[in-house]
Amino acid sequence: MNRNVHQFDRSVLREYDIRGVVGRTIHAADARAIGRTFGTLVRRKGGKRVALGYDGRLSSPGLAAACVEGLTAAGVDVVNIGLVSTPMLYFAVYHFDADGGIQITGSHNPPDYNGFKMMMGKKSFFGSDIQMLGAMAGKGDWDTGQGREKSRNVLPEYTARLLKDVKPGKKLKIAWDTGNGAVGVSIRGVVDKLPGEHIVLNENVDGTFPAHHPDPTVPANLEQLMTEVRRHGCDLGIAFDGDGDRIGAVDGKGRILWGDQLMVLWARDVLKSRPGATIIADVKASQVLFDEIARAGGRPLMFKTGHSLIKSKMAEIGAPLAGEMSGHVFFADTFFGFDDALYCALRLLNIVANAKESLADMRDVLPQPVNTPELRFDCADDRKFAVVEEVKGRLLAQGAKFSDIDGVRVSSKGGWWLLRASNTQPVLVARCEADDRAGLDRLMDELETALAASGVKLPDETSAGHH
């Protein structure tokens, strides 16, 4: 093996992160090359120190050690903060004023996956940055030096920062499901200092995820939480994904509140102190969210899906809040503007603890359109963007009304439908929303017809998945 250059498996250099299957497409040598190349970039920007953390996966400590080797070989000092959630790593970059950060995490993926989320300075490192890293490694375009590694524990400062924004109110009873993910590291440090009663499920960090898959956007993964909420009569339940940057929630009746429903509550709250502010939501969000932001005096901005894209847009326009259907939510009114699900949970508690009504009541008074969840279906990588372009071409020819900020979001009679290509998988993503069931069926037919003309068929099970 030539150690002067490094070739990555083609599949691992993705839009928002580097990720693959350990032992198959991701090896220690990849981690070393990422460290060496990222470190080189940091130095060439005049930086010298990078914060590094890793999640609870079994492969994470080994990949972290190799990544540290690469960083120090490029002459960069490493602040190793150990086993942490992804937002704790983001926090560390701010706290230590580091010149960048790397989190080794497979997020919500199966146990055999792992990957790397990166920050250059205080900005997301993604898209063309990741392609450039791959190209530099392929040429062995590396600096050489002798950096040092220092271990630091950031937990006390991190939890203190989160708790700073907690507003006292009525005492709540809450069930928390960390899903054996990395939030298990920080959950006690927060809930033990909160008023009320707290039941923590699956707290032990365990990279085999014995209880359920750590992805709160899949209803099956919330069943244990719903059961506990009902059994203990909790006010609400909170769930996290494997690395703690996405939130899920259920009300006291054990019903799911999706990302766009939670965003309505957070938007109203933020707009109280930031009247007229622009609030960003991704193209998958319900029309209800955009309408409610406007009704609360804010300026709704529909933007592309993708946590790195949204974070960048938010920083660019100075928006105090942004959120995605997927549960990535970003507060920049009093927080750093990165996606920290535990912080989001505290902001939800502030709202519920200071309201007369329950979370279930708040959910019930929201407008209730009929919509599908996110529908995902296979489409080859070399075909997916073309399909969207073909559909767009036909819509233009028909004079249809649509937004093309990310795929096409078509305004149709009584609702809308979305078709976009996933940036990360060989998948097309769709969603439909209408005032009533008949309207939804009509929109689903429109979507099906639009796809059929490009030779794509909606799988049968997707059309049954309304909620």
CB of 174 to Zn ion, least distance (A): 21
Cα separation values, 295 from 153, 275, 290, 303, 322, Å? 44, 11, 9, 19, 17
Name beta bridge partners: 123: 120
Per-residue burial over 328-339, b = 16 or more CB atoms within 10 Å of its CB, e = otherwise: bbbbbbebbbbb
Stated as kind and residue range, the H or E segment containing 119 is strand 113-120
Q: Is the CB of 86 or the CB of 287 nearer to Zn ion?
A: 86
Task: Please return the burial class of 231, using the count of CB atoms within 10 Å of its CB with bins 0-12, 13-18 and 19+.
Answer: exposed
Binding residues among 246-275 for Zn ion as defined by CB under 5 A: 246
Question: Do the Cβ atoms of 447 and 419 come closer than 8 Å?
Answer: yes
The yes or no reply on residue 241 touching Zn ion (CB under 5 A) is yes
85 is catalytic: no
Residue 235, helix vs strand vs coil: coil
Binding part of the chain for Zn ion, among 9-17, 233-241, 261-269, 364-372 by CB under 5 A, reads 233-241
| Selection from 408, 406, 425, 411 nearest residue 304 by Cα | 406
CB of 28 to Zn ion, least distance (A): 23
CA atoms within 13 A on the CB side of 391: 31
CB of 211 to Zn ion, least distance (A): 17
Query: Whose CB is nearest to Zn ion?
Result: 107
CB of 154 to Zn ion, least distance (A): 19
CB of 243 to Zn ion, least distance (A): 4
The yes or no reply on residue 245 touching Zn ion (CB under 5 A) is yes
Q: Is the CB of 70 or the CB of 181 nearer to Zn ion?
A: 181
The yes or no reply on residue 107 touching Zn ion (CB under 5 A) is yes
The yes or no reply on residue 308 touching Zn ion (CB under 5 A) is no
CB of 348 to Zn ion, least distance (A): 18
Phi, psi for residue 357 in degrees, rounded to 5: -90, 165
The yes or no reply on residue 217 touching Zn ion (CB under 5 A) is no
Q: Is the CB of 93 or the CB of 362 nearer to Zn ion?
A: 93
CB of 263 to Zn ion, least distance (A): 17
Cα separation values, 194 from 163, 202, 358, Å? 8, 19, 18
Q: Count the residues of the shown chain that bind Zn ion, applying the rule CB under 5 A.
A: 5
Q: Is the CB of 84 or the CB of 352 nearer to Zn ion?
A: 84
Chain mean position to CA 250: 18
Q: Is the CB of 134 or the CB of 242 nearer to Zn ion?
A: 242
Binding part of the chain for Zn ion, among 51-59, 235-243, 280-288, 306-314 by CB under 5 A, reads 235-243
Can you point out the beta strands (E) in 164-286? Answer: 173-177, 197-201, 236-240, 247-251, 256-257, 278-282
| Selection from 242, 104, 108 nearest residue 184 by Cα | 242
The yes or no reply on residue 243 touching Zn ion (CB under 5 A) is yes
Binding part of the chain for Zn ion, among 102-110, 170-178, 279-287, 396-404 by CB under 5 A, reads 102-110
The yes or no reply on residue 340 touching Zn ion (CB under 5 A) is no
Active-site option among 107, 186, 286, 326: 107
The yes or no reply on residue 324 touching Zn ion (CB under 5 A) is no
Distance from C-alpha of 118 to C-alpha of 43, rounded to nearest angstrom? 15
Q: Is the CB of 89 or the CB of 408 nearer to Zn ion?
A: 89
Which residues of this protein are in contact with Zn ion, per CB under 5 A?
107, 241, 243, 245-246
Q: Active-site residues: which are they?
A: 107
